[in-house]
Amino acid sequence: MSGPFAGFKWLALINDWTVFAGGFVQTILLSALGLMLALGLGIFFGLLGTSHVKLFKILNRVYVEFIQNTPLVIQIFFLYHGLPHLGIMLPVFVVGVLGVGIYHGAYIAEVIRAGVESVPKGQLEAAYSQGFSYWGAMIHIVLPQAKRISYPPLTNQAVNLIKNTSVLAMVAGGELMYYADSWSSTNLYYGPSYVVTGLLYLSLCFPLASFAKRMERKLEVSS
Amino acid sequence: MKKVHVLILSVMMLIALAVAGCGSTTDSKPAAGKTGTAPEIKAIQDRGTLKVGVKVDVPKFGFKDPKTGQIDGFEIDLTRALAKKILGDEKKFEAQGVTAKTRGPLLDNGEVDLVIATFTITEERKQSYNFSEPYFTDGVALMVKKDSGITDLKGLADKTIGVAQSATSKKAIQEAADKQGIKVKFLEFGTYPEIKTALDSGRINCFSVDGAILYGYLDDTTVILNDRFTPQEYGVASKKANTELAKVVNDTINDMKKSGELDKLMQKWGLK
């Protein structure tokens, strides 16, 4: 049997499974740390966006618009190839965490801002009338309601973040996509390589996406 | 449990896709008749143009001039000779830029008839594609920054070497390093310009690929070391099932070797 999916090509892949396993682990690590950074940045800048202080709002807009309107590839290239010319040589793993973290942080900031703003103003006013302070009202009244609305889009961001770590393959990132490219361009057994790689990404993203679906359904019932 | 079913279904669909892919390639094989022109060659003649995958980022071999938009080089001249042989007119070809990642799939799905793109012949690759006799042989070379002070492979001990994603150069350097008892690290990039960018930014200490390709990236800040490793042989690749086409290509290259035409082309491009 010949063609891109010939049997011996699958056998070769099974033989070299450690190559893919190593990349897979790296992708999981990158995604986990990237997600933590993205959540931290997202919550911080998202709350800045809901603030009444003009400067905070401007900071939020600059970050969100600048990151959302430039391609992730360019941002990664800047971190990887650009910074060394300024004397900053970040390891490629850090480039990855910073790259996807900052990129998705901007999207998460919007999710958080939208979540907080979706809570009717009356809730905050009612809280004030009961003697809550601004932060007291935020923590006990507004954020718990915003959280419910933000969860489904947040999980979508997590799924996108995992998939976007594959951009790191362009700068020899040592994650799953890099090893898939590396392995299959040497022996040209690209058929099995990309099918298996796709399935591995699916195995990470699908459970998360279904979790998001479930959250969404729960939300419909409770609201 | 519905989700599990969906997952199983999607996996099954993928497998079905894979099997279908195999089926179509085996179907096309027996159609090749013994008499007259082979169907794959007839298809090219009916179409009136030879579709070839070439490099667009390798000066002297296949390079697209940003000013004129024209692709030219040693491998393009070779394409012209093949177009003349198959279609009787050296202008009847369509060149398409390929990379290490795309050249295999483009052959498999019939998007190109031939790949003439600094494609190194290996035993492993011969299982997937037909390769012609080598039309060019070159050793793997090393390019470093002038100010790095590195003069040979030994100087690269524990350093990082950037190679292209088609690791024949990686294997060659690895073997040489093993012999000398030194350790080197490798990073793989998709295209040559990316490796050069990584060398400039200091991400890698050395840019390694076949010598003739490397000369296209030489500038004031870099130097190419004298060492050469495991000769790499370039061949013209065609789809595994297209055996008749492979034969015509092979004959043409052998004729060009005998007549000295191939040597003349190499001289024209300064590759000798």
Encode pLDDT of B148-178 as tens digits: 999 999 999 999 999 998 758 898 999 999 9
- C-alpha–C-alpha distance, residues A206 and A196, integer Å: 15
Tell whether B102 is within 8 A of chain A (Cβ): no
| Contact (Cβ atoms closer than 8 angstroms) between residue B201 and residue B187 | no
Residues 136-165 of B with CB under 8 A from A: 162, 165
> B104: closest CA among A179, A196, A186?
A186
Q: Tokens for B204?
A: 């890698």
pTM value is 0.80
**pLDDT range class, residue B16, cuts 50, 70, 90:** low
pLDDT at A109: 96
Q: Does the beta-carbon distance from B22 to A181 stay under 8 Å?
A: no
pLDDT at B20 over 60: no
- The radius of gyration computed from the CA coordinates of chain A, to the nearest angstrom, equals 21
**pLDDT range class, residue A223, cuts 50, 70, 90:** low
Residue of B nearest to A79 (CA): B201
Residues 20-79 of B with CB under 8 A from A: 21-22, 24-26
Which phi and psi (to 5°) does residue A88 adopt? -110, 110
| Residue that wins the pLDDT comparison between B2 and A167 | A167
Residues 70-89 of A with CB under 8 A from B: 80-82, 84-85, 89
pLDDT at B19: 55
Q: Tokens for B59?
A: 């000066």
Residues 149-208 of A with CB under 8 A from B: 169-172, 178, 181-182, 184-191, 195, 198-199, 202, 206
Tell whether B11 is within 8 A of chain A (Cβ): yes
Encode pLDDT of A22-38 as tens digits: 999 999 999 999 999 99
- C-alpha–C-alpha distance, residues A106 and A72, integer Å: 12
pLDDT at B35 over 60: no
Q: Does the beta-carbon distance from A80 to B167 stay under 8 Å?
A: no
pLDDT at B92: 95
**pLDDT range class, residue B67, cuts 50, 70, 90:** very high
pLDDT at A220: 67
Tell whether B260 is within 8 A of chain A (Cβ): no
Q: Does the beta-carbon distance from A3 to B24 stay under 8 Å?
A: yes
Q: Nearest CA to CA, how far is B198 from chain A (Å)?
A: 6
Q: Does the beta-carbon distance from A4 to B105 stay under 8 Å?
A: yes
pLDDT at B11: 67
pLDDT at B4: 64
Least confident of A71-75, B45-49, B86-90, B98-102: B98-102
pLDDT at A158 over 70: yes
Q: Nearest CA to CA, how far is A94 from chain B (Å)?
A: 14
- C-alpha–C-alpha distance, residues A142 and A129, integer Å: 14
Angle, CA B155 vertex, CA B150 and CA B159 arms, to 5°: 100
> 3-state class of A58 per DSSP?
helix
Q: Which DSSP string do the residues of chain B spell out, in sequence order? A: -HHHHHHHHHHHHHHHHHHHHHHHHHHHSTT--SSSS-HHHHHHHHHTSEEEEE-SEETTTEEE-TTT--EESHHHHHHHHHHHHHHS-TT-EEEEE--TTTHHHHHHTTS-SEEESS-B--HHHHTTEEE-S-SEEEEEEEEEEGGG---SGGGGTT-EEEEESSTHHHHHHHHHHHHHT---EEEEESSHHHHHHHHHTTS-SEEEEEHHHHHTT--TTEEE-S--EEEEEE--EEETT-HHHHHHHHHHHHHHHHHTHHHHHHHHTT--
The overall average pLDDT reported for chain A is 92
Encode pLDDT of B114-156 as tens digits: 999 999 999 989 999 999 999 999 999 999 999 999 999 999 9
Cα dihedral angle (B255, B51, B240, A17), rounded to 10 degrees? 120
| Contact (Cβ atoms closer than 8 angstroms) between residue B104 and residue B62 | no
Tell whether B9 is within 8 A of chain A (Cβ): no
Encode pLDDT of B201-251 as tens digits: 999 999 999 998 898 899 999 999 999 999 899 999 999 999 999 999 999
| Contact (Cβ atoms closer than 8 angstroms) between residue B237 and residue B130 | yes
- The residue among A181, A186, A200, A214 with the most chain B CBs within 10 A of its CB, best to mutate, is A186
Q: Nearest CA to CA, how far is B74 from chain A (Å)?
A: 23
Q: What proportion of chain A, given as a percentage, has pLDDT over 90? A: 78
Q: What proportion of chain B, given as a percentage, has pLDDT over 90? A: 72
Tell whether A121 is within 8 A of chain B (Cβ): no
pLDDT at B24: 45
Encode pLDDT of A167-220 as tens digits: 999 999 999 999 999 998 888 899 999 999 999 999 999 999 998 888 878 776
> Which residues in chain B are contacts of A1 at CB distance < 8 A?
22, 26
**pLDDT range class, residue A1, cuts 50, 70, 90:** low
Encode pLDDT of A95-149 as tens digits: 999 999 999 999 999 999 999 999 998 998 999 999 999 889 988 998 889 988 8
pLDDT at B256: 96
* CA A199, chain centre distance (Å): 19
DSSP code at position A167 = G
> 3-state class of A52 per DSSP?
coil
Q: Nearest CA to CA, how far is B88 from chain A (Å)?
A: 31
Tell whether B261 is within 8 A of chain A (Cβ): no
